[in-house]
């Protein structure tokens, strides 16, 4: 029997053998999942060496792995360090080994080297259906599949309100952290249901028009925003009308400032992720950022021509939020704070600060610090 199994491994991992991967080939198949790209994937009975197609997938792994967060990660893309420098520094301070994890690419899919990935001898690759990492049709996926290394696609960006649940379930299965995933999803879904149940009966006339400017002031021209997915999905879930939803064909894109002005939004939201030491314009938000610094940067962003004359800005209905909610399972915090902004009377008893404390105390292996949302007016 042993000879038969050994023979199967050799046959299945022929390409991997050529690259010295045989020692890390799966010993047995334990389960099958359908990932967010619609692929059926056999998952090895155990996983010891994980590749992340985006560094920011660490947000999703943190509630599952907790104090063992970096025990199994052998490679990730380098965009996490630049896109959310403060969180990266926080994780490196808590888990020094994170600084030594191999980089498989810089910030985009075309910088990812399949050879570098295979040299790390992974037994699982976790990728995203969209964003900065290799996609379903990439050369990397083809080579990993040829080497019989499982590849799992998840999504926290395109359709986050729906896909966060399934993505966390899949990660729980492939990482054999089913209990931790169920625990997190109980937290996530109970908080989400509280919002969606209350806003469901609201007619359109009672849903404020909202414009969210993503990475506000960090681009030459206004206005980078979300359509029917991504941050736009948070606006809809929280009981608002996203003015960009009917204007964008995709879930993220740009619209003209003139269209924003003509839409006359009731609420203006600017997102950002710059830290206190960063240079250039943009909203300071996230770990290491004080409320004072966040508000000062938001007010600066609001001074720009066109934005400063919006009724929502002059009336004080302007807010700032952490950009990285846009690809994180912590998006429930964005939905809660938006619900509070959009419907303060309906959600008078809602406390996003308490939800954030619960998130950190129950699920995250780093301490809570920084500012993740702010009102323009104290």
Q: How far apart are CA 26 and CA 229, in angstroms?
A: 36
State whether 222 and 289 are in the same domain: yes
State whether 94 and 239 are in the same domain: no
Q: How far apart are CA 353 and CA 80, in angstroms?
A: 25
State whether 367 and 243 are in the same domain: yes
State whether 58 and 139 are in the same domain: yes
- Read off the pLDDT of each residue in 355-365 and give the average, rounded to a whole number: 97
Q: How far apart are CA 2 and CA 10, in angstroms?
A: 12
Q: Are 167 and 142 in contact (CB under 8 A)?
A: no
Q: Are 125 and 117 in contact (CB under 8 A)?
A: yes
Residue 101 phi, psi dihedral angles, 5° rounding: -70, 135
Listed residue (100, 103, 84) closest to 92, CA to CA: 100
The token pair at 243 is 């003015």
State whether 358 and 310 are in the same domain: yes
- Please indicate, yes or no, if residue 356 is contained in any of the structural domains: yes
The β-bridge relationship of strands 224-226 and 102-105 is unpaired
pLDDT, one tens digit per residue, over 110-148 is 788 888 899 999 999 999 998 777 878 788 899 999 999
Q: How far apart are CA 291 and CA 6, in angstroms?
A: 60
CA distances from 32 to 16, 43, 45, 191, 236 (A): 21, 6, 11, 29, 33
State whether 170 and 208 are in the same domain: no
Question: Residue 372: what pLDDT?
Answer: 98
pLDDT, one tens digit per residue, over 302-320 is 999 999 999 999 999 999 9
The number of folded domains in the chain is 2
Per-residue pLDDT band for 30 (boundaries 50, 70, 90) equals: low
The token pair at 257 is 């400032």
Question: Residue 207: what pLDDT?
Answer: 98
Q: Is 375 exposed, middle or buried (0-12, 13-18, 19+ CB in 10 A)?
A: middle
State whether 214 and 162 are in the same domain: no
- Domain-ending residue, one of 111, 141, 176: 176
- Please indicate, yes or no, if residue 43 is contained in any of the structural domains: yes
State whether 252 and 301 are in the same domain: yes
State whether 131 and 50 are in the same domain: yes
State whether 242 and 155 are in the same domain: no
**Burial 293-329, CB ≥16 within 10 A → b, else e:** bbbebbeebbebeebeebebbeeebbbbbbbbbbbbb
Q: Domain range spanning residue 322? A: 203-375
The CATH number assigned to the domain holding 337 equals: 3.40.50.1980
The token pair at 345 is 């009377």
State whether 308 and 258 are in the same domain: yes
Q: Is 234 helix (H, G, I), strand (E, B) or coil?
A: helix
pTM attached to this predicted model? 0.90
pLDDT, one tens digit per residue, over 59-104 is 999 999 999 999 999 999 999 998 999 999 999 999 999 999 999 9
């Amino acid at each position: 029997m042993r000879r038969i199994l050994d023979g199967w491994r050799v046959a299945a991992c022929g390409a991997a053998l050529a690259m010295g991967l045989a020692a890390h080939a799966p010993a047995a198949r334990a389960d099958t999942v359908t990932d967010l790209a619609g692929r059926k994937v056999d998952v090895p009975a155990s996983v010891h060496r994980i590749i992340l197609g985006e560094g920011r997938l660490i947000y999703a792994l943190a509630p599952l792995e907790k104090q063992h967060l970096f025990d199994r990660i052998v490679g990730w893309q380098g965009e996490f360090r630049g896109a959310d420098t403060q969180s990266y520094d926080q994780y490196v301070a808590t888990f020094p080994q994170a600084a030594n994890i191999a980089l498989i690419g810089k910030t985009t899919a075309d910088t990812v080297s399949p050879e570098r990935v295979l040299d790390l001898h992974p037994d699982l690759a976790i990728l995203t259906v969209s964003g900065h990492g290799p996609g379903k049709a990439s050369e990397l996926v083809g080579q990993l599949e040829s080497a019989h290394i499982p590849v799992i696609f998840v999504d926290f960006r395109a359709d986050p309100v729906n896909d966060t649940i399934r993505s966390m379930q899949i990660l729980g299965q492939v990482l054999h952290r089913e209990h931790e995933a169920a625990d997190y999803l109980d937290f996530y879904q109970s908080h989400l249901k509280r919002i969606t149940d209350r806003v469901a009966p609201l007619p359109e006339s009672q849903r404020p028009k909202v414009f969210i400017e993503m990475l506000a002031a960090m681009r030459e021209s206004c206005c980078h925003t979300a359509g029917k997915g991504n941050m736009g999905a948070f606006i809809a879930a929280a009981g608002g009308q996203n003015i960009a939803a009917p204007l964008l064909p995709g879930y993220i894109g740009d619209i003209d400032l003139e269209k924003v002005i003509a839409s006359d939004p009731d609420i203006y939201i600017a997102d950002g992720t710059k830290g206190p030491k960063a240079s250039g314009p943009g909203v300071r938000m996230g770990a290491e950022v004080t409320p004072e610094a966040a508000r000062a940067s938001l007010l600066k962003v609001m001074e720009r021509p066109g934005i400063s004359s919006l009724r929502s800005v002059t009336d004080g209905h302007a807010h700032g939020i952490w950009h990285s909610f846009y690809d994180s399972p912590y998006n429930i915090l964005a939905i809660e704070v938006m619900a509070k902004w959009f419907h303060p009377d309906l959600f008078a008893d809602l406390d996003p600060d308490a939800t954030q404390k619960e998130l950190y105390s129950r699920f995250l292996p780093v301490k809570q610090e920084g500012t993740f949302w702010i009102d323009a007016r104290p």
